[in-house]
Amino acid sequence: MTQSEWLLPQPEDTIPTSGLRDSAGELDPLAAPGVIGIASELVLSLPITDERGHPTIPPDRHILDHLARAWALVDEDTIIEHPFEADTVAVVDVLPRCDRCGAEARYDTAVLDAVRGRCGAYICLQHIVDAEYTTLGMGAATYIMKTTEVPASIRQRVNQRLVEQDREPRFAPFGGQP
């Protein structure tokens, strides 16, 4: 896995931006569907929950992107070259508490507070209805995943990478799983 494979492909890498703008520098509406397609693949249209209210679990590539940045699995230059991050998921050992009820929180997002206005909050699945946002991603909501919930293939890849970097594996081995 090369370093840039840990991170999301950047819009500039994927589309020729020069072809998207007219001579005045405005986005060409004929080219816009391509941009929207790429943006939605990356982040923008990932709903917080499905129609039945079950949480959307962000795709593996978003989990890799988060871990690569949060745990410094790639070097600084690679991160600078990939400024556009998913920010749909965060991996933690212990879930924070819901700011509304104290249960285990699943989202880092914002709520409307009667006194303080819009403010950042950890929210549980039950109180997701109070969130100001309905999508996951930068500036909206982040799904909080426990380290034990990270898919086995990712845990293995991350541990291998940490060993390559002369660091301790951070995921405990799981019985029976490859």
> Residue from 8, 73, 91, 124 that binds Zn ion (CB under 5 A)?
124
Q: Please say which residue, 131 or 162, places its beta carbon nearer to Zn ion.
A: 131
Q: Using CA atoms, how far apart are residues 111 and 178, in angstroms rounded to an integer?
A: 40
The vertex-141 CA angle with 99 and 125, nearest 5°, equals 50
Read off the DSSP letter of residue 177: -
Identify residues 13-42 at the interface with Zn ion (CB under 5 A). none
Token readout for 5 is 């494979």
Binding range to Zn ion, per CB under 5 A, among 11-19, 71-79, 99-107, 151-159: 99-107
Does residue 152 interact with Zn ion by CB under 5 A?
Answer: no
Does residue 100 interact with Zn ion by CB under 5 A?
Answer: yes
* Beta carbon of residue 148, minimum distance to Zn ion (angstroms, whole number): 21
Does residue 157 interact with Zn ion by CB under 5 A?
Answer: no
Cα 67 versus chain centre, distance = 9
Total residues contacting Zn ion by CB under 5 A comes to 6
The vertex-110 CA angle with 128 and 98, nearest 5°, equals 55
Q: Using CA atoms, how far apart are residues 137 and 142, in angstroms rounded to an integer?
A: 6
Exposed, middle or buried, 46 (CB in 10 Å: 0-12/13-18/19+)? buried
Does residue 68 interact with Zn ion by CB under 5 A?
Answer: no
Does residue 127 interact with Zn ion by CB under 5 A?
Answer: yes
Binding range to Zn ion, per CB under 5 A, among 8-16, 63-71, 101-109, 153-161: 101-109
The residues of the shown chain that bind Zn ion, judged by CB under 5 A, are 98, 100-101, 103, 124, 127
